[in-house]
Chains A and B, each alone.
Chain A
Amino acid sequence: MQIDALKNERLALWKKNLSSFWSIYSQNTMGLIGLVILIFFTLMAIFGPLLVSITTMSVDGVTQVMHPPTSGFWLGTDDLGKDILAGVIIGSRVSLLVGVAATAISMIIGTVIGIVSGFYGRAVDALLMRITDVFLVIPWLPLMLVMAALLGPSLGNIIFVIGITSWAGTARIIRSQTLSIKERPYVERARAIGSEDSHIMFYHILPNVFPLIFANTVLVAAIAILSETTLSFLGMGDPTRVTWGVMLHFAFSMGAVSHVAWWWLLPPGICVVLVVLSFTFIGYALDEVLNPKLRRRDQ
């Protein structure tokens, strides 16, 4: 009975927090635009590949390569006469999937290292933060390129490489928040009744750093999407999978630039920019919701 009541109370609290969060967030034009773009591309990634297939454009049995847009092929064709619009739609799925998976890996590593480092302090903290600093200072693209080249081109490797190189910023932020949370009375109370370290970290500290994780995820996701595009463009992607980066790689190496084949070069890039921009917009909006100091006083 009592547990049920507690559950209901917690649920009500969640609901209240969520609705107050939304009432601030929904006033932010940038945040709303970002959310709409992101939902659009998510739907495209889920349903797009089911609805379209890549066809080849041919006239009288002759394949039409690098053909400008027509009424049947809205974004023209590539060097093999294949439909670019269909490629862009199908490419959205793997592009976003790589971004989401790499972000998840990065957030898990960053959060665990940040919490453990901040919670235990001393030698553990010194060691983990030194490693974090090394990852912060190493230029990210060369590190990712070297790792990707050594592991070989595959989707899994790309995800792993992006995830393992982009967690350092998150770890720093989570650590500093953990340092302040672990001094709070309820953590001391939990320790006094004999809670284990892992219990305290998981049930008392993690929920309280969650807003930070949430805000940071958005920024890491933007970096992950950009990284996938760049790695694939530089030839580290899986050439058998269509992603926006792989499309740009082939466009560049097959001479789309000298053909001024803008219908091939622009669309995949614009998709990347829109997705990254949507994450950036959402990040800005979250910053304003979570950090009241940034809210404008005259509004």
Chain B
Amino acid sequence: MRGYLFQKIMQAGLTILIVVALNFFLFRIMPGDPIRVLIRNPKISADALERVREQFGLNEGRLVQFWIYLRDLFSGELGSSFNYRQPVIDVIMERVPATIMLVGTATVLSIIFGVLLGVILAWKRGTRLDIVGLSISLILYSMPTFWVAIIMVMIFAVYWQIFPLGGMGMPGVFYTSLWAELASKVGYLFLPTVTFALILVGEYVLIMRSSLLEVMREDYMLTARAKGVSNRDLLRKHALPNAMLPVVTLIAINLGFIVGGAIQIETVFSWPGLGRLMYTALTNRDYPVLQGLFLFVTIAVIVANFCADILYRYLDPRVKS
């Protein structure tokens, strides 16, 4: 186990190093230098250009630039934002809780419902219920995330006006009690979370269904049945523990997809998290934020992937030895 852990840490570390380098070269080399990119931003002044030139060391060689980039990185500030006039890391950290709240709730919801529905469909394999459930899952899986979000807003927030249009609360409103505040927060959280869960659930249903079907075909299931194990215990004690493993893998594989989903959902619902920050940084051409955010999100995904790898090994005794 220790050797494995060491190897995995080395791998994740190497990947992070490559991403750090890629992040530099992507912004520096692709279309020319950042100045050329900055000129496309109509709001930038000649002064600011000179300051940026200074800040990134653009009058120096490329190696010096890389050194400045690394120094900024390890000082932890990630440069400073054109738009917010703050260190990029502060801009990012301010928005982390909102995203974790949205993504966390949606992921937990989609896993619970996905596993449940997947088990039901696998158990009822070949019936009309199975076919309907399978088709709905495939359709959900094929929809552009932002489009589902738009339709949800149009129906539930504009037409029926059950939920707020977006955002995370009214500015300047004081609540009489903690409960009132909580109720208001839940009202804002509800629609984006349900939309996100709807997008994610299809894949969990599909993988749970096929994984359970595969396990049910195994010889030990037949043995258990022959021993007279009840249907309920057959499912709970023999099939589910093994069938759940691919779900854990999917959570890890899905992380990148979840980040993409967060960008779209937060944009449509004006949710003040990292995804919306990315969108506004794109539209404002706020490159320091874009670069910092890209690095931050990618490293978060790599670290989470690493954790899932370790967890998987812990859960599945077969890969341990």
B294 touches A266 (CB 8 A): no
Option from A131, A138, A276 in Cβ contact (under 8 Å) with B298 = A138
Question: What's the Cα separation between A262 and B285 when bound, in Å?
Answer: 31
- How many residues of chain B get a CB closer than 8 Å to chain A's CBs? 50
A138/B256 contact (C-beta < 8 A), A149-B282, A149-B290 known? yes
B19 touches A234 (CB 8 A): no
B144 touches A137 (CB 8 A): no
B256 touches A139 (CB 8 A): yes
Question: What's the Cα separation between A253 and B151 when bound, in Å?
Answer: 14
Option from A142, A229, A260, A280 in Cβ contact (under 8 Å) with B159 = A260
B143 touches A273 (CB 8 A): yes
Option from A134, A234, A273, A277 in Cβ contact (under 8 Å) with B22 = A134
Does A248 belong to the interface (CB within 8 Å)? yes
Which residue of chain B has its CB nearest to the CB of A144? B260
Does A257 belong to the interface (CB within 8 Å)? yes
State the majority secondary structure of interface residues on A.
Answer: helix
In the assembled complex, which residues on chain A have CB atoms less than 8 Å from the CB atom of B158? 257-258, 260
Q: How large is the interface on A (under 10, 10 to 19, 20 to 34, 35 or more residues)?
A: 35 or more
B142 touches A141 (CB 8 A): no
Does B139 belong to the interface (CB within 8 Å)? yes
In the assembled complex, which residues on chain B have CB atoms less than 8 Å from the CB atom of A257? 150, 153-154, 158
Does B40 belong to the interface (CB within 8 Å)? yes
Of residues 139 to 169 in A, which have CB atoms within 8 Å of B's CB atoms?
139-143, 145-147, 149-152
Q: Given contact pairs A258-B158, A265-B154, enumerate 15 new A-B contacts (beta carbons under 8 Å).
A: A130-B14, A137-B301, A137-B302, A139-B255, A141-B256, A141-B263, A142-B293, A150-B26, A150-B27, A151-B31, A234-B282, A236-B282, A260-B159, A273-B143, A277-B139
> Closest 5 CB pairs between A and B?
A141-B260, A139-B256, A139-B259, A276-B142, A269-B147
Chosen A-B contacts, 11 in total, with CB atoms closer than 8 Å, are A130-B18, A140-B257, A230-B145, A234-B146, A234-B263, A234-B267, A235-B283, A248-B150, A260-B159, A265-B150, A280-B138
A-to-B contact residues, CB < 8 Å: 130-131, 133-134, 137-143, 145-147, 149-152, 222, 226, 229-230, 233-236, 248, 252, 257-258, 260, 262, 265-266, 269, 272-273, 276-277, 280-281, 284
